Amino acid sequence: MPLETIKLTASFKLDGSISESLFSTYREVLGRLLEYAWTKGITSFKRLKAERYRELRARHPSLPSHYIYTACQMACSIYKSFRKLRKRGLAKAEKPFFKKQVIMLDDHLFSLDLEGWEASIAVENGRVKLKLLHGTYHERFKEMRIGQAWLVKTEDELYLKAVFSKTVELVESNGKAIAVDINENNVTFGSTERVRNIETGERAIRTAYFLKRRRLQSKPRLNEKPLMVKYKGRERRKVEDIYHKLANQIVDEAKGLKASTIVLEELANIRRRIRRSKAINGRLNRWSFRKLQEIIEYKAKLAGLNVTYVNAKGTSILCPICGGRLSPNGYRQMKCKKCGLKQDRDIIAVRNLLHRCQIDVGASPVHPESPPMIGGGKG
Ligand SMILES: [Zn+2]
């Protein structure tokens, strides 16, 4: 059975603070490493560490040495993504820089006591213990390994983001799959046997919070900003809660149908879809799609299911039977002029996704009969 490592990030708010000098020293070390990596074109952590460690260690003798390791790692990854953006013409700056108050920690630099809700963090002159306040921590993390973490400082708050991992066994692919088509206000998922459409109601939540924020902006008060942040957090939690429930339904559907695979759309094509919705433009973002996909992916893998991403280009405008171009045929309906297929456009998207996945894995083609639509609203 194929093995796969699942990674989940938990974010804890910390009670107390870390000395400003740790943040400023780290930023200085990171800045130097970044400059060096950029000047010499170094993307390898090993090489950067080999060439810079000694000098930085001598310059900052009170800084625990592993901070230099993690700064090397961060510098390499920041430089790498800068280079990628630059190649695509998307980086405006001449050279990479990093201004955020973020420190990367490895397992020498921090430990978590989840029973006592406490984090221990290495600082310049020993270790500090900080209480964990609320967080996105969940019971399911208990049996997972803790890997690296990040200390993130905002204006007046300190967070610890820790990565938990677990190795799971995935079932062998049996050619049966559930495809998921994500839209701004509804999600359609299903197999060749049946397709379900579930309204998420996300649009209503987003609109309500958008109006709340706008009201707030129209009459500025002294404490306006914390309230804005509070609203943002509440909105996000509400939406995430919907996503968790939805992902559970999708995984249950896959298990019920003994499907081995869940098919998701590749992100590159999702951007185009976002533009389709004018009313919510700028508010329904990549975050939503990626977040939902992430939740589906880890829940699926924890259940031992495989997850495949397929190219979703044209899945809503091409006929799943003959490949002909579809034209609109009433509310949410599409029609194929070539073979006469008439169907709901979300079902069409699901069928196309299944089709592409099965072409990719070389399994049997999709049954040509259209699957029945059950449950949920019309979207
Ligand atoms: Zn057709």
Q: Of residues 275 and 12, which shows the higher confidence score?
A: 12
Give dist(CA 338, CA 322) in Å, integer: 8
Q: Is the pLDDT of residue 371 over 60?
A: no
Give residue-wise pLDDT tens across range 133-154: 876 666 777 788 998 999 999 8
321: CA distance to ligand 1 center in Å?
Answer: 5
316: CA distance to ligand 1 center in Å?
Answer: 13
364: CA distance to ligand 1 center in Å?
Answer: 19
Give residue-wise pLDDT tens across range 254-311: 999 999 999 999 866 555 555 444 444 444 566 788 889 999 999 999 999 999 999 8
User: Residues with beta carbon < 5 A to ion ligand 1?
Assistant: 319, 321-322, 324, 336, 338-339, 341
List b or e across 61-99, with b for residues whose CB sees 16 or more CB atoms inside 10 angstroms: eebbebbbbbbbbbbbebbeebbeeeeeeeeeeeebeee
85: CA distance to ligand 1 center in Å?
Answer: 40
**Is the Cβ–Cβ distance between 171 and 306 less than 8 Å?**
yes
333: CA distance to ligand 1 center in Å?
Answer: 14
Average pLDDT estimate for 342-363:
79
317: CA distance to ligand 1 center in Å?
Answer: 11
Give me the percent of the chain exceeding a pLDDT of 90: 51
Q: What is the pLDDT of residue 104?
A: 97
264: CA distance to ligand 1 center in Å?
Answer: 23
Alpha helices in 303-367 (DSSP H): 345-361
Give dist(CA 191, CA 179) in Å, integer: 6
338: CA distance to ligand 1 center in Å?
Answer: 5
Give dist(CA 163, CA 7) in Å, integer: 6
342: CA distance to ligand 1 center in Å?
Answer: 9
Residue with tokens 């820089």: 97
Residue whose C-alpha is closest to residue 239's, from 275, 264, 207:
207
Give dist(CA 191, CA 254) in Å, integer: 8
Average pLDDT estimate for 110-132:
92
322: CA distance to ligand 1 center in Å?
Answer: 4
Give residue-wise pLDDT tens across range 158-178: 999 999 999 999 999 888 999
Beta bridge partner(s), residue 161: 11, 150
- Confidence class for position 220, pLDDT limits 50, 70, 90: low
- The set of residues, in sequence order, having a beta carbon less than 8 Å from that of 222 and lying 6+ positions away, is none
- The set of residues, in sequence order, having a beta carbon less than 8 Å from that of 161 and lying 6+ positions away, is 9, 10, 11, 12, 149, 150, 152
Phi, psi of 312, rounded to the nearest 5 degrees: -105, 15
Beta bridge partner(s), residue 196: 189, 374
Q: Is the pLDDT of residue 349 over 80?
A: yes
Q: Of residues 52 and 313, which shows the higher confidence score?
A: 52
* Global pTM value: 0.74
Q: What is the pLDDT of residue 365?
A: 40
271: CA distance to ligand 1 center in Å?
Answer: 26
324: CA distance to ligand 1 center in Å?
Answer: 5
Average pLDDT estimate for 211-218:
83
- The set of residues, in sequence order, having a beta carbon less than 8 Å from that of 172 and lying 6+ positions away, is 1, 2, 260
Residue whose C-alpha is closest to residue 30's, from 70, 62, 58:
70
Give dist(CA 225, CA 156) in Å, integer: 12
**Is the Cβ–Cβ distance between 96 and 34 less than 8 Å?**
yes
335: CA distance to ligand 1 center in Å?
Answer: 8
Radius of gyration of the chain (CA): 24
Give dist(CA 43, CA 79) in Å, integer: 7
134: CA distance to ligand 1 center in Å?
Answer: 53
42: CA distance to ligand 1 center in Å?
Answer: 52
